[in-house]
Structure 1
């Protein structure tokens, strides 16, 4: 009897060791810090995949640009040095203007409208199109709607003229700020706090979540609730690495990732409201504006970008039917 039990224990131990040896590690890179919802979602995906596959799929999270900036991560994905990434659309839009259309000012009036556009036909067409970059596309999510945080108090759009505004290096966003007479200043997110605190920057385009969690409001003289732009994220993988993943694991990764991405978008209506309420409790004045605040600069932006990408009008048509 003792020998039988010992044999069973040895067999179980051997099986566990084999399962452990069969575990496959994948890496996913992000530029967002650990508290950000993109990183929180990546960790939730990793936890579910690990549990659902008894540890066979181990997704390792690298936040805060640990693996490099987005241009570097894109190159790693293309070569197969990186497995997955949550990325802004910057590197895509700078290679193909069509990917910039989701940055169209006021294309989505709120988070539910943005969610519909990011699951619509135009979005799917562009998601399928990432194969030309050597990538596999899984879906979209977003951060909160874009707001404006300034060192000085702002009464009108003219107060933004000549100001250095931190942006991401994304052509549609840069054009938006140039059209306002401001100086868009791309800067890595980890460097933003110090640059804003020491006056290297006059302001930033960001969401309420980042404004609160990174405490940018501590050096702000004005917060403008504008909701003027959505800020999509695209989840992609290396096509080279994806081709080597067993079909059953491909199916599980896709299903779990797509579900969490959609849930993430839906959360942002509540997230935006929660952090706006917190910011209203500070000493920094919060000014609420609409499209008219920006004058005719929005119309000029659309005129320019309709000539750059025919898909913009297609997306506008989708938005009009929401």
Structure 2
């Protein structure tokens, strides 16, 4: 009984402290993330929250809800549009049906490297794309790094485009991905992510494609020992705030939010790079062979029909051209 009384007292004390902390804030913003606590995107928004609270002297607080506590990405984007929640972190891919320009960022080999992607998003193009979100009741605050997807397989090292000929790779159920594999001379096999391990193990497919941390955490490195760092897809992550919430802020507080978001992006990108490096080290130690020295030019040139199919308007063609020309 004494233990229960002590535990209850502790819980009540914690609740009282949380209530007191919330009472100090004139405005508390709720931010959603589907990733678990400790994930780079979650830690990025937490860092933003700390900076905002400090610079507003505790007037504005941001409470981060990880692990899809407020819903999956598509649902939380809609909730943010309607002001039900205040902020959301989501992949560009989830915005495709809402902000059409985001579809271009699913084009294969659009970015030459992660550094190239950062340079594009941190410059005039990033501002231009961000402005498109306001038309849909969202204010883009920061672009996070979602990593680069590369090919891995159980059969052989992929060192050239010719090595892909006839191989079977699992891809997401997406027409662009299917067309990409066709253009590379390989066979696309859409299937649920959870079935990939056994499909590679039993030879139903030869491999799949994803980033280092996913290749590691899924266990796919156990059955597909050859990882080719071709980085064919880099889809940014976005931190956005509801325009309804944004309009309640003073211009000074809006600038504090923007600056804190930009600073959090630097942290998030470093945390992601650290996570990639740790995963690479782990899979290499476990016996994976990582192929880095490949000529991407033939891979990129093979995408011409894919771009012709999906980049059809003069506006989109101009944007893709400017992205490719960015140093």
User: Structure 2-normalised TM-score?
Assistant: 0.76
Equivalent runs, 1:80-119 vs 2, <5 Å: 80-119=83-122
Range that drifts further, 103-112 or 82-91: 103-112
Distance 2:319 2:115 in 1: 19
Q: How many residues align structurally?
A: 298
Match of 1:287 among 282, 285, 291: 291
Range that drifts further, 236-245 or 145-154: 145-154
Cα deviation for residue 134 of structure 1 reads: 1.4
Distance 1:116 1:69 in 2: 29
1:77 and 1:238 in contact (8 A); partners too? yes
1:20 and 1:55 in contact (8 A); partners too? no
Runs (4 or more) in structure 1 with deviation over 6 Å come to none
3-state DSSP class of the match of 1:225?
strand
Residue 157, structure 1, aligned to residue 172, structure 2: no
User: Aligned residue for 2:125?
Assistant: 122
RMSD of the TM alignment (CA)? 3.3
Residue 311, structure 1, aligned to residue 316, structure 2: yes
Cα deviation for residue 131 of structure 1 reads: 1.4
Cα deviation for residue 258 of structure 1 reads: 1.8
User: Structure 1-normalised TM-score?
Assistant: 0.77
User: Aligned residue for 1:14?
Assistant: none
3-state DSSP class of the match of 1:67?
coil
> Relative to structure 1, is the Cα distance of residues 22 and 145 closer, same or farther in structure 2, using a 3 angstrom cutoff?
closer
Distance 1:265 1:309 in 2: 32
Distance 1:18 1:198 in 2: 49
Equivalent runs, 1:44-59 vs 2, <5 Å: 44-59=47-62
> Relative to structure 1, is the Cα distance of residues 124 and 246 closer, same or farther in structure 2, using a 3 angstrom cutoff?
closer
Match of 2:227 among 223, 229, 247: 223
2:197 and 2:219 in contact (8 A); partners too? no
Distance 1:114 1:18 in 2: 39
Match of 1:182 among 163, 177, 188: 188
CA displacement, residues 271-303 of structure 1 (integer Å, 9 cap, x when unaligned): 545543443222123234443564864222122
1:111 and 1:268 in contact (8 A); partners too? no
2:104 and 2:311 in contact (8 A); partners too? no
